[in-house]
Structure 1
Amino acid sequence: MKKFLFLIIPTILLFNSCESKVEKVIPAFYYWKSDSYFSDKEKEITDEQNIQKMYVKFFEVDYSDALGNFPIAKTNFSANNYCNDNKFEYEIIPTVYLKNIVFKKSTKAELVQLADDVNFLINKYTKERLDSLEIKEFQMDCDWTESTKDNYFYFLKELKKVSSKSLSCTLRLYPYKYPDKMGVPPVDKATLMCYNLINPLENSAKNSILDLDELKSYLSGKQNYPLHLDVALPLYSWSQLYQNNQFQKIIYTGKEFQKSMKKIKPLWYEVTKDTAIDYETYLKVGDKIKYEEIDANTINKAISILKNELRMDKEITVSLFHLDENQLSNYSNEEISSFYSSFTK
């Protein structure tokens, strides 16, 4: 028995030494707003957190039978946000959100044209608004499905070819767990999006932004995914508005509207006073609101799960979604800093 233990202990030590441990984190944010300038507070956050990368949504791509594939929701992000005394403060990664319908409807020839158009628009935007900043990487963001993966992957190959850039994409947890079914995208690396785990309309009792049990269920097993994986975590809240028990819309707002509501169960509120949220949203007495937010404790628990269950390289980028003064007011500077540093501890 002693001889057996003598033989097995070195094997255990060797196995443990092969476990991945993150040694360096590159701090990053997603910038998903249309504003041209950071607020003073947002600029302060990027400085204090020593942000090194900013994934900026340049535009989205949608489809209609009349127009085919077309760009929408362009941002006004400008050089003033990243340039200080003519010095670049962090790397800009142009990010494009492509709706899944684009890959349901497009032919191969249309996908070749789409790759050319996306490359052209990114370069045009960079020249006009970012002082011809040198761009090293493009990131594509798409919730592809099993039926659209071939078209999406074909587009990625064409974009890589025409752009000659490093190419990354976002990766949801379902395709991460089931690569045999969902395929592995032909990119240089992927960002694992650790949020929006549950369809907001399917489970009224769970937080659809980030549910820890759901996160762990997708990560269990420490599989060897064949791409370098970076990580994205959610720092935002939203509300789902229901009128006559029918879902109406998502509202991005803070807790201030709860003054005109009463809590009826976990996550759920009922409107007790008619309230105008903005020019487009009017809450009426009896409307129901499901308010979902992510506190620092939940983020820290999610990081612990990722460290235990996800194989990561020694150097990774950790991105927080997203840079917004109102959303980030729920977290202290120390808490935000810890969301980056905890991966190396």
Structure 2
Amino acid sequence: MKKVLLFLPLILLLFSCDNKVESVEKSFYYWKSDSDSYYNDKEKSILKEQNIKKLYVKFFEVDYQEELGNLPVSKTNFNIYSYCSENDSLPYRIVPTVYIKNIVFQKSSEKELDKLADNVSYLIDKFTNEKLDSIRVSEIQIDCDWTASTKNNYFYFLKKLKPISKKQISATLRLYPYKYPDKMGVPPVDKVTLMCYNLINPLEDQSKNSILDLKELESYLKPKKKYPLHMDVALPVYSWMQIYQNNNFSGVIYNSNGLKKNLKVIKPLWYEVTKDTVVSYNTYLRRGDKIKYEEITADKVNKAIAIIKKNISLDKNITVTLFHLDENELNNYTHEEISSFYSDFTK
């Protein structure tokens, strides 16, 4: 009995270290569309300071229209020469990322999905040749909020895409399909990225932060559950303000720095506009309008990381991706805080 007791601490130590993350590949999502502002020196500086070597770049989205069927929209403005001089090599590995709306899989037949797989692969290659100077791309990520009713079509598309593209395929994974793989299925891909944000429909629960509510996050995680595929992690580093005029939702403000001076607190998360304010050429706040300010702080992100580490069995080597690369949002964090969003996983 004494020998068993002597070895018990060693056994517990070995068990506790078995799932410890040893290294983190640092990454960002680049989610700007062609109508957004271009990449700038501040963002380039952040990438260099954080030693970022990987970027998930949204190349385009796929939507569905009754008249036209499936079509690409919201193409990116990303260009290789925004990141390096003409004679230098790109210092980042680029992962083309495509967001496909769930309606595409609600409306498409298998024949149409065959065509979609061809078109997605073709457009990624075309964009890579035109704007990325034909750099080598080894991975494609597909982003979709699939449901139980669209699972079969979505998985069919993923299976078709891999041999056509001849690339590694990854997929985003929301918390609901993570928690219920028996119901939602496990996507037929090489790996997944768990999206630890946008947990709640922003218009359904007015008392919670829909981007990241810590109790909501924890409710989806089962202690030390091991997902069948390699799983990376994505975290939010953005905030937004939801505008309510005459008690009706009317839009969202990103990059809301400087607006709080014209707001007064009325209850947790909620503010009232105290002064007529021009936000942009098409957004105007009137005195009395209500604002739900869903803010993501460094402390909230660090607490989310602690919850993830406590409840998820991760591989020894993972990629941690922050959403997303935007100067105005990242100005809310210090260099040390951004660095901690990566390094905390190995502590």
Q: TM-score, normalised by structure 2?
A: 0.95
Determine the structure 2 residue equivalent to 1:43: 44
CA distance in 2, matches of 1:334, 1:168: 29
CA distance in 2, matches of 1:8, 1:252: 53
How far did residue 4 of structure 1 move? 6.8
- Superposed CA offset, 1:92-131 (max 9, x none): 0000000000000000000000000000001001101110
Work out whether residues 96 and 124 of structure 2, in 8 Å CA contact, stay in contact via their aligned partners in 1: yes
Determine the structure 2 residue equivalent to 1:16: 16
CA distance in 1, matches of 2:9, 2:259: 59
- Superposed CA offset, 1:179-227 (max 9, x none): 0001000000000000011111121111111111111111132212100
Q: Which amino acid aligns with 2:294?
A: E
Determine the structure 1 residue equivalent to 2:29: 30
CA distance in 2, matches of 1:82, 1:255: 26
How far did residue 82 of structure 1 move? 3.4
Q: Secondary structure at the match of 2:158?
A: helix
CA distance in 1, matches of 2:160, 2:200: 32
Determine the structure 1 residue equivalent to 2:120: 118
CA distance in 2, matches of 1:75, 1:171: 22
How far did residue 15 of structure 1 move? 3.4
Work out whether residues 37 and 78 of structure 1, in 8 Å CA contact, stay in contact via their aligned partners in 2: no
Matches within 5 A, 1:240-259: 240-259=242-261
State which drifts further: 150-159 or 264-273.
264-273
How far did residue 244 of structure 1 move? 1.4
CA distance in 2, matches of 1:335, 1:183: 36
Determine the structure 2 residue equivalent to 1:78: 79
Work out whether residues 36 and 78 of structure 1, in 8 Å CA contact, stay in contact via their aligned partners in 2: no
Q: Which amino acid aligns with 1:100?
A: N
Determine the structure 2 residue equivalent to 1:261: 263
Work out whether residues 36 and 77 of structure 1, in 8 Å CA contact, stay in contact via their aligned partners in 2: no
Q: Which amino acid aligns with 1:20?
A: N
Work out whether residues 42 and 325 of structure 1, in 8 Å CA contact, stay in contact via their aligned partners in 2: yes
Q: Secondary structure at the match of 1:256?
A: coil
Q: Which amino acid aligns with 1:256?
A: G
Q: Which amino acid aligns with 2:253?
A: I
CA distance in 1, matches of 2:51, 2:268: 37
Determine the structure 2 residue equivalent to 1:333: 335
Q: Which amino acid aligns with 2:235?
A: L
Matches within 5 A, 1:110-189: 110-189=112-191
CA distance in 2, matches of 1:214, 1:62: 29
CA distance in 2, matches of 1:12, 1:253: 47
Work out whether residues 138 and 166 of structure 1, in 8 Å CA contact, stay in contact via their aligned partners in 2: yes
Q: TM-score, normalised by structure 1?
A: 0.95
How far did residue 16 of structure 1 move? 3.1
- Superposed CA offset, 1:50-93 (max 9, x none): 10100001000000110100000001110113334422201000
Structure 2: which 5+ runs fail to align?
A: none
Q: Which amino acid aligns with 1:265?
A: K
How far did residue 5 of structure 1 move? 4.4
Q: Secondary structure at the match of 1:101?
A: helix
How far did residue 306 of structure 1 move? 1.2
Work out whether residues 226 and 314 of structure 2, in 8 Å CA contact, stay in contact via their aligned partners in 1: no
Q: 1:265 to 1:129 in 2, by over 3 A?
A: same
How far did residue 144 of structure 1 move? 0.4
Q: Secondary structure at the match of 1:117?
A: helix
Q: Secondary structure at the match of 1:96?
A: strand
CA distance in 2, matches of 1:15, 1:22: 13
How far did residue 11 of structure 1 move? 5.2
Q: Calculate percent identity across the aligned residue pairs.
A: 65
Structure 1: which 5+ runs fail to align?
A: none
Give the alignment's Cα RMSD to 1 decimal.
1.6
- Superposed CA offset, 1:304-335 (max 9, x none): 11111111111111100000000000000111
Matches within 5 A, 1:172-211: 172-211=174-213
CA distance in 1, matches of 2:102, 2:298: 32
Work out whether residues 80 and 90 of structure 2, in 8 Å CA contact, stay in contact via their aligned partners in 1: no
Q: Secondary structure at the match of 1:205?
A: coil
Q: Secondary structure at the match of 1:343?
A: helix
Q: 1:27 to 1:10 in 2, by over 3 A?
A: closer
Q: Which amino acid aligns with 2:83?
A: Y
- Superposed CA offset, 1:7-51 (max 9, x none): 86665455335x301111100000011357421110100000110
CA distance in 1, matches of 2:45, 2:3: 61
State which drifts further: 101-110 or 4-13.
4-13
How far did residue 276 of structure 1 move? 1.5
Work out whether residues 171 and 191 of structure 2, in 8 Å CA contact, stay in contact via their aligned partners in 1: yes
